[in-house]
Amino acid sequence: MSSVKNVINDSYKLMLLKDYLREAIKEAGFSGVDIQKTPTGTRVGLHVTRPGIVIGRKGSGIRDLTKVLETDFGLKNPQISVIEITKPELEPSVMCNRMSQHLARGTAFRRAVMWTMQTIMEAGAMGVQITTSGKLRGDRSSFEKHSKGVLPRAGHQATVIVSEDIVHVPTKMGLIGVRIRIARKERFIPEFELKAIKKEAKKVEEVPEEIEIIEEAQIDPTKPRTESEVIELEEKLIETVETFEEVEEELK
């Protein structure tokens, strides 16, 4: 087999693996997977929002997942490591999965779009763009594109600070595609920066220990444990979000 066919075959297997993990560990908030081949086996890094669900009780989840990766996907001696995502609202794959669940449950696509954009921007994103396409309203296929904030479209900055993901949602009307692009502030590389601004930034980074202790004490014990619980809580809040059509009717 030629090198070109090997690359195509590996890419196809990786696509199948991502589709499987997206559904298998959906409750853990799956974001992505990194695969590295080593002389002793294969290192598999899973990026999730809730590592405890993937690990399972006494490591049972990791053992079951290891068997599946070895038998069904042909990975030699897979060594799985679970990596926690600190800001799930800034990960396009996580937000695509959440929005797809809202659409599958019958939420209006514009309300889901407005809520997702609001959640991403409140988490500290520099910009967001959500594109929905498919059977949105009737029998005819259409698409809508909504954006908020600053989102580079081309150039080096676009490749560095912008990340995206695509998901397809089966609904009663038909198949709906969702594409989310997020620009993160911490990845932005300014071309020019003054020395005085650097000194001010260092002062801001120095946080006293007392503030850190207060933040730990304010952790909410009622935080949702799974992605399904997050979706159930968000469904009640989505109803309060105003769409563009409602705003237009109020202005008339």
Residue 194's pLDDT is 46
User: Whole-prediction pTM value?
Assistant: 0.74
Residue 8's pLDDT is 84
Per-residue burial over 80-106, b = 16 or more CB atoms within 10 Å of its CB, e = otherwise: bebeebeebbbbbbbbbbbbbbbbeee
**Across the strands, what pairs with 162?**
183
Write phi, then psi, for 45 (nearest 5 degrees): -105, 120
Residue 148's pLDDT is 92
Closest by CA to 27, choosing from 80, 94, 77, is: 94
Q: What angle do CA 172, 140, 135 make, to 5 degrees?
A: 35
Q: Could you tell me the two tokens for 58? A: 């006494």
Q: Which domains can be identified in the chain, with CATH numbers?
A: 3-84 (3.30.300.20), 88-204+225-250 (3.30.1140.32)
Which stretches within 105-141 are classed as H helix? 109-122
Q: CA 1, CA 250: separation in Å to the nearest integer?
A: 64
Residue 190's pLDDT is 66
Helix/strand number for the chain, H first, E second:
10, 7
Report the chain (252 residues): mean pLDDT per 10 consecutive residues.
76 86 86 87 89 86 89 87 89 91 88 91 92 85 90 82 90 88 82 50 43 36 72 78 59 52
Q: CA 167, CA 146: separation in Å to the nearest integer?
A: 16
